[in-house]
């Protein structure tokens, strides 16, 4: 089942999460691989530093990567609200890595330098 959230990504698409009922009676929530593949689509390489940031976010929200690039969390149905919150929080935090693209960082740096010089 797809749940379309009110949150949007960097290209203004609504973020969806997917719910799967497992044989064990648990639920699996996932992003169907969208988040990490979208970073690649946006031209962002997962360098060692960025990969470390992704891992930190995943650990913070108890999210696992399955099938190479799918963000996922599993648990009992009673934990659905918390799992949904954790998955969405991780997706949003990982999407913020697009701000670390070289051209974005360079533009921010030059804007800061120009602002500083104008104040002098």
Global pTM? 0.78
Q: What pLDDT is attached to residue 15?
A: 94
Query: What are the E-state strand segments in the chain?
Result: 2-8, 14-21, 26-30, 64-66, 70-76
CA atoms within 13 A on the CB side of 55: 7
Q: What pLDDT is attached to residue 50?
A: 77
Q: What pLDDT is attached to residue 103?
A: 56
Maximal CA-CA distance, the chain? 67
* 58, 65 contact by CB (below 8 A): yes
The distance in angstroms from the start CA to the end CA of the chain is 57
Residues with pLDDT less than 50, the chain: 104-105
Angle between helices 34-41 and 80-95 (to 10 degrees): 10
Q: What pLDDT is attached to residue 120?
A: 76
Q: What pLDDT is attached to residue 44?
A: 72
Q: What pLDDT is attached to residue 109?
A: 56
- The contacts of residue 10 (CB under 8 Å, 6+ apart) are 38, 42, 95, 98
């Amino acid at each position: 089942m797809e749940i379309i959230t009110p949150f949007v990504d960097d290209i203004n698409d609504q973020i969806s999460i997917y719910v799967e009922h497992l044989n064990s009676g648990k639920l699996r929530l996932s992003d169907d691989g969208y988040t990490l593949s979208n970073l690649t689509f946006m031209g962002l390489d997962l360098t060692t530093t960025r990969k470390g940031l992704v891992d930190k976010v995943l650990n913070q929200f108890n999210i696992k990567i399955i099938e190479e690039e799918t963000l996922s969390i599993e648990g009992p149905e009673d934990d659905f609200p918390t799992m949904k919150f954790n998955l969405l929080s991780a997706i949003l935090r990982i999407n913020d890595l697009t701000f670390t693209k070289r051209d974005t960082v360079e533009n921010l740096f030059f804007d800061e330098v120009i602002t500083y010089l104008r104040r002098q």
